[in-house]
């Protein structure tokens, strides 16, 4: 990420394009000037592209899409899972973290995929039909006032020397979340049967303990776990560290096995384009614009270059998306097919290709922060090295 954009683009999760929440029609259309020709290599079942609206909750939209594909892989049933239910639960966890750290922590809409898994452990899952997070006839998500209102309550408690003046910050936090998103359902009806969120989680067969996060950085030992110090890792989640080439190779291997992947990375580069449906890393920056519409030589990504880009803040955890397949261009170059959460592009000049982005291996190796996968998708020898 260009460091001069950091203040303006606090997190790219908030890039939104006012798309409808439900997108039943997939539109796989690149701009007419594009000379790319893509052939599908792997395409794994996933739910329709949605829009996160005016929110910074890409972490939940992408992780929820990932979970939906996992449910389908296990059961053959595609269930529309609520993204905002786990956002709602995570806001409460963030509030506790912010207060306990006396305001010395990031408090924002952003998060990571493991925050959804943490929410599932404690709060279960619910279908979209039981909790949409939309009230009073709203059709688009907008969380622009939630964090500011919560911070007023939390900061008042933190800053007041006499804590007895603000003893009910938890109650006030929950009240704001109830008013903005709706109260969490204690039980609901799904396909004619009444469930609690924990019972519904059992129905889906999802076990949060089965999922691991993998990354690749030189500042930590390989084949060990560590806490990656990035702003949205408020919950201090652990990441397994592997060498860069292995990081890329296992990602392709996982897809070929029929598993999808949760992705976290940097999308603020000029060569990441939802309009053109591609993400590439040209060898020559003078080709940045050209690369959006035709194949150009790309950078050779080394562990040293990747680490440098992370250290100087050119690679940051802007956005999370869902990798669901592989495609190949007319010259045989592989790309990851990634499902975004900025809508499907209908009636939009800024989103094409049905809301999907084809990410080159070079871009993936340089700009990925991490991936989250089912542990059984990993090669056995790697599982043994990581003691999983």
**Residue 129: CB atoms within 10 Å:** 13
Tell me how far apart the alpha carbons of residues 48 and 344 are, in angstroms, rounded to a whole number.
Answer: 8
Buried b (16+ CB within 10 A) or exposed e, 160-199: eeeeeebeebeebbbebbeebbbebbeebeeeeeebebee
Q: What is the pLDDT of residue 349?
A: 77
**Token pair in block for residue 280:** 């590439």
Rounded to 5°, the CA angle 360-255-32 comes to: 40
Name residue 214's beta-bridge partners: 240, 371
Which residues contact residue 113 at a Cβ distance below 8 angstroms, ignoring those fewer than 6 apart?
59, 62, 63, 66, 213, 262, 264, 320, 372
- Mean pLDDT score of the chain, rounded to an integer? 92
Of 263-267, 331-335, 342-346, the least confident: 342-346
Which SS3 state, helix, strand or coil, does residue 245 take?
A: helix
Measured over the CA atoms of residue 66, residue 70, residue 72 and residue 78, the dihedral's sign is negative
Res. 345: pLDDT tops 50: yes
The answer to whether 40 touches 327, Cβ cutoff 8 Å, is yes
Measured over the CA atoms of residue 107, residue 145, residue 339 and residue 36, the dihedral's sign is negative
For the chain, report the end-to-end CA distance as a whole number of angstroms: 33
Res. 219: pLDDT tops 70: yes
Tell me how far apart the alpha carbons of residues 119 and 182 are, in angstroms, rounded to a whole number.
Answer: 17
Buried b (16+ CB within 10 A) or exposed e, 71-87: bbbeeeeebebbbbbbb
Tell me how far apart the alpha carbons of residues 387 and 330 are, in angstroms, rounded to a whole number.
Answer: 40
By DSSP bridging, strand 319-328 and strand 334-339 are antiparallel
Which burial class, exposed, middle or buried, applies to 139 when counting CB atoms under 10 A from its CB (0-12, 13-18, 19+)? exposed
pLDDT tens across 69-109, in order? 999 999 999 999 999 999 999 999 999 999 999 999 999 99
pLDDT tens across 185-211, in order? 999 999 999 999 999 999 999 999 999
Nearest CA to 68 out of 45, 88, 52, 89 is that of 45
Res. 23: pLDDT tops 60: no
Nearest CA to 109 out of 149, 157, 158 is that of 149
pLDDT tens across 302-322, in order? 999 999 999 999 999 999 999
Residue owning tokens 């109650």:
171
What is the DSSP code (8-state) at residue 107?
A: -
The answer to whether 23 touches 339, Cβ cutoff 8 Å, is no
The answer to whether 75 touches 203, Cβ cutoff 8 Å, is no
Nearest CA to 52 out of 273, 357, 341, 265 is that of 341
Per-residue H/E/C for 249-301? HHHHHHHHCCCCEEEEECCCCCCEECCCCEECCECCHHHCCHHHCCCCCECCC
CATH architecture of 3-386: Alpha-Beta Complex (3.90)
Look up the pTM and report it: 0.92
Distance from chain centroid for Cα 56: 10
pLDDT tens across 38-68, in order? 999 999 999 999 999 999 999 999 999 999 9
Length of the chain: 388
Residue owning tokens 């869902």:
322
Which residues contact residue 108 at a Cβ distance below 8 angstroms, ignoring those fewer than 6 apart?
10, 11, 56, 147, 232
Res. 15: pLDDT tops 70: no
Which burial class, exposed, middle or buried, applies to 268 when counting CB atoms under 10 A from its CB (0-12, 13-18, 19+)? buried
């Amino acid at each position: 990420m260009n460091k001069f954009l950091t203040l303006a683009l606090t997190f790219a999760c908030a890039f939104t394009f006012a798309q409808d929440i439900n997108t039943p029609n997939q539109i796989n259309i690149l701009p007419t000037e594009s000379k790319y020709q893509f052939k599908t290599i792997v395409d794994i079942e996933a739910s329709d592209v949605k829009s996160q609206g005016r929110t910074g909750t890409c972490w939940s939209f992408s992780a929820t899409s990932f979970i939906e594909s996992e449910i389908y892989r296990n059961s053959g049933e595609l269930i529309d899972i609520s993204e905002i239910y786990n956002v709602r639960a995570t806001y409460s966890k963030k509030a506790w973290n912010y207060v306990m750290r006396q305001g010395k922590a990031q408090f924002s809409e952003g998060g990571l995929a493991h925050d959804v898994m943490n929410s599932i452990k404690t709060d279960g899952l619910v279908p979209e039909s039981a909790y949409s997070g939309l009230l009073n006839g709203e059709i688009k998500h907008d969380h622009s006032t939630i964090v500011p209102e919560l911070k007023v309550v939390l900061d008042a408690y933190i800053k007041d020397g006499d804590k007895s003046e603000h003893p009910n910050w938890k109650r006030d936090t929950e009240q704001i979340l109830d008013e903005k998103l709706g109260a969490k359902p204690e039980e609901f009806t799904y396909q004619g049967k009444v469930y609690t969120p924990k019972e519904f989680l059992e129905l889906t067969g999802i076990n949060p303990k089965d999922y691991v996060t993998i990354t690749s950085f030189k500042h930590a030992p390989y084949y060990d776990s560590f806490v990656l110090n990035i702003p949205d890792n408020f919950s201090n989640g652990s990441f397994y560290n592997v060498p860069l080439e292995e990081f890329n190779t296992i990602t392709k291997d996982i897809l070929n096995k029929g598993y999808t992947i949760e992705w976290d990375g940097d999308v603020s580069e000029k060569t990441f384009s939802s309009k053109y449906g591609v993400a590439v890393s040209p060898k020559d920056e003078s080709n940045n614009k050209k690369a959006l519409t035709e194949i150009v030589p790309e950078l050779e990504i080394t562990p040293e270059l990747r680490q440098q880009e992370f250290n100087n803040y050119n690679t940051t955890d802007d956005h999370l998306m869902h990798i669901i397949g592989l495609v190949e261009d007319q010259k045989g170059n592989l790309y990851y097919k990634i499902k975004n959460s900025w809508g499907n592009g209908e009636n939009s000049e800024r989103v094409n290709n049905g809301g999907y982005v084809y990410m080159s291996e070079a871009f993936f190796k340089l700009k990925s922060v991490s991936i989250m996968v089912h542990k059984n998708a990993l090669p056995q020898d790697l599982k043994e090295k990581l003691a999983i």
